[in-house]
Amino acid sequence: MRRLLWYLPVVAGLFLAGLFALYLLSPETKPSWQQRLHTHFQQLVAVSDQQKHRLTDYLYRQVAVAEALVTAPQFQMDFKALRKLGGDVNTQRYLELEQRMEEHFVFLLEGIYDMLFISPQGKIFFTVKKEADFGKALDDPLLKQTGLARVIAQAPQATRMVSFEPYFASAEPAAFIIVPVGVQQGYVAFQMPINQIDAMLRLGDEMGQTGEVYLVDEQKRLLTSSRFMNAGEQMAVKVNTLAANAAINGERGSQIIEDYREVKVLSHYQPLLLEELPGIHWGLISEKDLDEVLAEYYLEEEDRLYAQLERTLIERQRSTYDGVNVLTLLPQDVKVDMSEYQRLSLLNDQGIYTLGAATCSVLTALMPNEFVYMAHVSPTDRIYRGQASSEMNLLEQMLHKIYYFELPPARRDQLRFYLTATHTESLKGVLRLLLSQGVRPKQLMIELAPQARSVNVRVDAKGRIQTQWVFESGKDDQHVTYVNFRSLLMLLLPQNLQAQN
């Protein structure tokens, strides 16, 4: 008996450890919505601080290299010699000096696009690239409104920096590090392209599909590229947001706001000021779409949230039916049969429709003014409850075609999805599929009528969706729920959060 007694503490310990593990895995111990938001904001702060450190280190390093080069005796002698030649590029002496300067440029100035030599009078008498600014004076109409001209006109005695702005000679945004040469000998302007800083701020998947970090200047222009627009478009974008205004005013903070796309985001903002380098007055902003955070939360808490969501859907049924009584079909319209999807270009005078969806579901994917996809999904499809082993996966096939053959990632958030059904049997599967494929809650509309016998759906050539519900004759409970999934999901969150948003 004594031999068995030593097992008792071990068994008791294992039992208690098991209870503790069950406690950790219980729903009550999962992070709340507020805790998840806090975690996401902490991530934004960490990324922003890391990128700020990288940026400031990079800029100071560039300045140090530029100043070291300009203060070198041999460089100053070559600068004076080139200035005396006055841009006469056809002499042997000029070619020798040019070769030496190009060697400096190639081996010492990594990340510098061009090097401009400027006389005290504002004449650009040497450049490495020999672009359209070579030989011009800073009072030339193409140059006199630039930050470069304004700073040189002040005759600075110490290193200055000009922030990024469109620059005609390079046809792209440029910044300049301006270093005085000797005593009133002139200036060297080191031209910095935006692509180096752009590459530093570009994120991979560590911030999800919508996370980004970007810079704004004092005029609240977007300096670095956005994952939501084509390269080179950013300087035309004004970021007149709470985050941009606060960062430019020297404030730091984190809030849920509307960004420059008028999209709700989690935003962290802070100023980027370099006291030793006048001319840099930027705002550094890191953001992530609230919709992506909501989608992640729903997928992680799917079982609990879906039960609440389904009840809320039924409770929110409208008391009046406002669908169309007669669905007008045209001979040229495209018909979608059960267990298939079809595509229609909205450039033609056609519509697309499906009829008699009773136990089936209809999912419409609309890209305004371009195209529409419609799928008539049968109960044997994988998205239905109890059909996890089904080989039919119509919606995944349709999404794959849209995402890989129709739209680049930057435009996918413009898609609009409409789920139409007389039941909720497919709703859970549709939500899981769409959200896991990157569809945001705001992109999905749900139209539901459990009392209806079937539904007919048509989309016309202008992208207008017409729904005809077929009810049992004589029944008065002709109620329809029509709601945006994001709005529905927000109802399940704490009331104080809804007030903030």
Confidence (pLDDT) at 44 = 96
Token pair listed for 198: 């752009």
Instruction: Check whether 22 has a pLDDT greater than 50.
Output: no
| Least confidently predicted of 131-135, 250-254, 308-312, 367-371 | 308-312
Element (H, E) at 363: strand 361-367
Nearest CA-CA partner of 149 in 122, 188, 131 = 122
Question: If you search the block for the tokens 């300096």, which residue do you land on?
Answer: 223
Least confident range from 313-322, 377-386, 400-409: namely 313-322
Of 173, 144, 283, 280, the closest CA to residue 236 belongs to: 173
Q: Which residue has the tokens 């413009």?
A: 414
Level-2 CATH architecture, domain 71-193: 2-Layer Sandwich (3.30)
226 neighbors 234 (Cβ within 8 angstroms): yes
The predicted structure's pLDDT at residue 99 = 83
In the chain the first and final C-alpha atoms are separated, in Å, by: 66
- Give the span between the Cα atoms of 373 and 459, in whole angstroms: 10
Judge whether 294 and 442 are in contact, CB under 8 Å: no
pTM: 0.81
Give pLDDT, residue 338.
95
Domain at 301-500, CATH from 3.60.15.10, 3.30.1330.200, 3.40.367.20, 1.10.150.130? 3.30.1330.200
pLDDT > 70 in the chain, percent: 87
Give the contacts of 82 (CB within 8 A, at least 6 positions apart): 94, 97, 98, 101, 117, 125, 126
Q: Is the pLDDT of residue 28 over 60?
A: no
- Give kind and range of the element (H or E) at residue 149: helix 147-153
Q: Residue 319: phi, psi to the nearest 5? A: -85, -10
User: How much is the pLDDT for 26?
Assistant: 46
Query: If you count them, how many residues does the chain have?
Result: 501
Here the tokens at position 189 are 């302007």
Tokens standing for 294?
Answer: 């909501």
Q: How far apart are CA 432 and CA 295, in angstroms?
A: 9
Location of structure tokens 């992208």: 463
Predicted confidence band at 341 (pLDDT cuts at 50, 70, 90)?
Answer: very high
How large is the average pLDDT for residues 14-20? 42
What is the chain's mean pLDDT, rounded?
85
At which residue do the structure tokens 């409770």 appear? Answer: 315
Instruction: Report pLDDT for 6.
Output: 41
Of 125, 290, 86, 116, give the one whose Cα is nearest residue 189: 116
247-304 pLDDT tens trace: 999 999 999 999 999 999 999 999 998 777 777 889 999 999 999 999 999 999 998 8
Highest mean pLDDT among 95-104, 152-161, 252-261: 252-261
CA distance 202 to 266: 18
| pLDDT of 378 higher than 50 | yes
Q: Bridge partners of 343? A: 373
The sign of the torsion formed by the CA atoms of 68, 72, 78, 80 equals positive
Strand pairing partners for 335? 353
Tokens 């977007």 correspond to 222
**71-193 and 202-290 in the same fold:** yes
What pLDDT was estimated at residue 495? 54
Max CA separation in the chain (angstroms):
107
DSSP H helices in 71-120: 73-85, 92-108
Whether residue 30 has pLDDT greater than 70: no
Long-range contacts of 155-161 (CB under 8 A, 24+ apart): 155/120, 155/184, 156/180, 156/187, 159/63, 159/66, 159/67, 159/277, 160/277, 160/278, 160/279, 161/59, 161/63, 161/274, 161/277, 161/278, 161/279, 161/280
- pLDDT band at residue 339 using 50, 70 and 90 as cut-offs: very high
202-290 maps to CATH 3.30.450.20: yes
> Is pLDDT above 90 for 117?
yes
Domain boundaries, the chain: 71-193, 202-290, 301-500
- Quote the CA–CA distance of 86 and 135 in Å, as a whole number: 9
Looking at per-residue pLDDT, the higher value among 108 and 192 belongs to: 192
Which of 345-359, 375-389, 404-418, 434-448 comes out lowest in average pLDDT? Answer: 375-389
Tell which wins on pLDDT, 63 or 16: 63
Q: What is the pLDDT of residues 313-327, one digit of tens each?
A: 877 665 455 556 778
Binning the chain into helix, strand and coil, the percentages to the nearest 5 are 40, 25, 35
Helix axes 73-85, 92-108, angle to 10 degrees: 140
